[in-house]
A and B are shown apart, each in its own frame.
Chain A
Amino acid sequence: MDLHFTADEPTASEVDAVDAVLGAADSRWHGGQRVDPSEAQTSESGHRTAGQRHLLLPVLHAIHGRIGWISRGALNYACKRLEVPPAEAYGVATFYDMFSLEQAPPVVARVCDDIACQAKGASDLCAGLETVMGPAGNGNASRCGWVRSPCLGQCERAPAVLVTAAGERPWTSVIAPATAQAVEAACSKDSPTDGPQVRESVPQAGQASLQLLHRVGAPSAQSLDEYRADGGLRAWELALELGPEWVIEQVEQSNLVGRGGAAFPTGRKWRAVAQAGGPKYVVCNADESEPGTFKDRVLMEGDPFGVVEAIMIAAFATGSERAYVYVRGEYPDATERMRSAIAELDSAGLLERACPIEIRRGAGAYICGEETALFNSIEGFRGEPRNKPPYPTESGLFGRPTLVNNVETLANVLRILLQGGTAYAAVGTERSSGPKLFCLSGHVAMPGVYEVPFGATVRELIELAGGVGGTGRLQAVLVGGAAGAFLGPDELDAPFTFEGMRAVGATVGSAVVMPFDDSVDLGAVLLRIAEFFRDESCGQCVPCRVGTVRQEELLERLRSGQTIGTLDHERQLLREVSQVMRDASICGLGHTAASAVDSALERFPIFQGATR
């Protein structure tokens, strides 16, 4: 492609960072040295380079990991290497929260101030950081700075902080629960600080009844040999022995539905992709970013071989030629565990009968958990959702039939093959089969991921986690995530199943259970949720781009009492904003951006008058 570049040149370390991903540039055309005097005029483009667009995000990560921000010269060099127009690459880079396009310090602490961390003192933490490290923001520090972040998926250890350090050997540290002093200490070091152990996130760890979490904290998570010794790869061997058709039949018979939030029958997806013509792909959606959700992180950190084994089975059963694991950028430990599990399985030759598996890292964009946005992100485009139909099973990643499953969904497949689909379907309730992971955080005594067969009520789940924490007096429970719903203390006997949640006007979503005690200002929680959706809207469609802003403004006005017109007028406007987002947005983000707010206003006497 005949591209135009500004005169900005990359520095040697920027070139180095990009070359570490792509290899050295082979010609001047691609930003390298002129080898042959005639070649400056020669285009090297065509399919070879056009086929590399999907490396844009990894290349941007490499630059950011080395330098701490993306300069004009670095972007130019990345674009020359990949033959991507600089305007488009700029559009992609500015899409992600974790990338800075302005000079930023190499060490940045991302401090979660989302709802779960707020319930556990995030405001105090931020105030402390202002004293110790100065005001939030990237611009005011030479070595380390701190920024506020949406949910980091460490809610069971709230308040949480993720420290990222750029350099020749970039490192990250998870500080959770965090104090301002601990964050400052971690930032001033030259190496990572040991983070919390994943076993602590699973209070049930070691219990014999566990189906999905049984390996968390066990040595089998550490090496392939241990994994095999613990009965690992048995499902894979069964699949090889009995064939793809048998695998798909078991998944169909299990009645397994997706655990990522949409609850689509998994067997139907597998069947559709298996029947489609190749090339086709498997994508493991590990971009869990729903506030209050951390179950997939725990699975990847606690049983990485199990997750990869399930991906191998999915690829084998559908005849896919490559699999991608898209892990959210805020999960460095999970990424590392998955990477080394894949490498071990690969060097043992076990991926040969499955397919190559690649890890792709997100860079801070909730919307990329939406499956079609995720495809665009992998392909090197802005993570904007596509219009559906066509559905991924028909036209997904690179326009090919694609099987997308959430991490937890895949983890269930091992149980299904080992027990048989029918036996699996007998677990749980008739319409919600199987074991289920729940994320308990906020005001509970023992936050963490809990596994129970489908059917437990919200009350039972809270009791499993030691009962209501904080003041001990429950005000409300957020179920399903920020896109879910609030329940009142009188609704706790609703079973946390697909049908049970529907009956109370909620959804299973990402199985978040976040109780709030009576000291919490629910209005502030609603405002934070509205702020979250305003920040995370991709901006593509009008109802969501403007609607999420209007929703936040309305809540602010209702909270402050400074309404435009009467209170009823404002509430009516809020209802209309909610409806247009639900009815006319492109994707699930807009459709559900008002769900939690609506449910709370229905149930609780918030914003009833100009009281604040």
Chain B
Amino acid sequence: MSDQSLADAPDLTVPVPPGPVPSAPVRDQRPEVEVSVDGQSVSVPEGSTLLDACRQCEIDTPTLCYVETLTPVNVCRVCVVELEGSRTLVPACSRKAEPGMVIRTDTERVRLSRRMVLEFLASSTDVSQSPELCSYMESYGADPERYGERDAQAESKTQPAKVDNELYIRDYAKCVLCYKCVEACGEDAQNTFAIAVAGRGFDAHIATEFDVSLPESACVYCGNCIGVCPTGALVFKAEHDLRERGEWDASRQESTDTICPYCGVGCTLSVHTQDNQIVKVTSPLDQEVTSGNLCIKGRFGWQFTTGAPSAPDDVAGDKK
């Protein structure tokens, strides 16, 4: 294009009106709350949790059911800390910091509770695909072997994976009942409510209504449950198949960030590949557009890269 044609083009710019450029009102600085963590005084903005305070002090606090993008349910209790004046330990992930609170994170009581929680989980679930949990177990000296092998726990640990669609599988032998998938499927992200906690006590489990298969359920295959699952109970069918065949090899994998090609929202995709094949797609939780949530297309709709038939259509065909 020559300079001449540019000069001839009509001026499309909108004239800026005179005067100051409007800007968003400045947010009030939240007042600070001062608490003591392991003898160290720390100031956090009002409304922060004890976990925020611990992290600000760079104290490594284990969490399993907590993730920044979901409402804390404080059910795993692995983050408990000692709060002066409280009869019981309190969950750091959800307890709000109040002025003058005195917290201890490395007492015998705290260590015992954390170790026992980890032992309890490892003795009743298959934690082999949860490197985070395993590393906590090591640092807290958890020994799940001391409970022996009981029928009930053997059953919960060895139940077969539910494989009822081509996109993802549910291996509840690995489920620690952190409630994250239920939150992601429900009010915290997708508002689909395909799954909920059913049963009670040790029999409590994640289920669709009457345990119907996913294609019969309300599931829309956004995969946001997979995105938050901490133990590998929910994984891509592609990953599951590779693992079954013994071909899954994290060391041969690469992750490449790109923007989802489907619509104008612009979600960031982290495309995980092994041997130049896409094995799964995630999205960073700190992604400002969607906080790590995707839809069926972004999450699973990458078969076009290999020329394979489009799985989402197959699944949708089963639904009304």
Contact = CB atoms under 8 A, between A and B. Distances in A.
B163 interface: no
B207 A90 contact: yes
Interface in B106-129: 109, 112-113, 116-117, 120-121, 123-124
Contacts of B270: none
A553 B149 CA distance: 11
Interface stretch (B26-34, B72-80, B283-291): B72-80
Contacts of B212: 6
A580 B218 contact: no
Contacts of A576: 112, 116
B74 A94 contact: no
B197 A91 contact: yes
Interface string B183-214: 00010000001111111111110011110100
B308 interface: no
Given A540-B75, A543-B77, A95 B116 contact: no
Nearest to B191: A1
Contacts of A582: 88
Contacts of B216: 6
A545 B88 contact: no
A94 B198 contact: yes
B69 interface: no
A337 interface: no
A541 B75 contact: yes
A176 interface: no
A222 B208 CA distance: 47
B116 A545 contact: no
A542 B76 contact: yes
B263 interface: no
Interface string B216-228: 1110000000000
A546 B210 contact: no
A537 B202 contact: yes
A365 B148 contact: no
Interface string B167-196: 000000000110000000010000001111
A533 to B, nearest CB: 9
A584 to B, nearest CB: 4
Given A85-B193, A87-B194, A539 B199 contact: yes
A538 interface: yes
A101 B203 CA distance: 15
B210 A577 contact: no
A465 B198 CA distance: 43
Nearest to A390: B96
A538 B218 contact: no
Interface residues of A, number: 51
Interface string B287-310: 000000000000000000000000
Contacts, number: 161
Given A538-B200, A546-B202, A553 B112 contact: no
Contacts of A564: 146-148
Q: Pick from A87, A557, A579, A582 the residue with the most CB of B within 10 Å.
A: A87
A536 B78 CA distance: 22
A535 interface: yes
A469 interface: no
A86 interface: yes
B203 A539 contact: yes
Interface in A1-29: 1, 3-4, 6
A75 interface: yes
Given A6-B209, A580-B116, A534 B89 contact: no
A591 interface: yes
Contacts of B177: 539, 542, 545
B232 interface: no
Contacts of A573: 146-147
A354 B147 CA distance: 55
Contact of B197 (A4, A382, A584): A382
Nearest to B179: A540
Interface string A284-310: 000000000000000000000000000
A538 B201 contact: yes
Interface of B: 74-78, 80, 88-89, 91, 94, 109, 112-113, 116-117, 120-121, 123-124, 146-148, 150, 152-153, 176-177, 186, 193-204, 207-210, 212, 216-218, 320
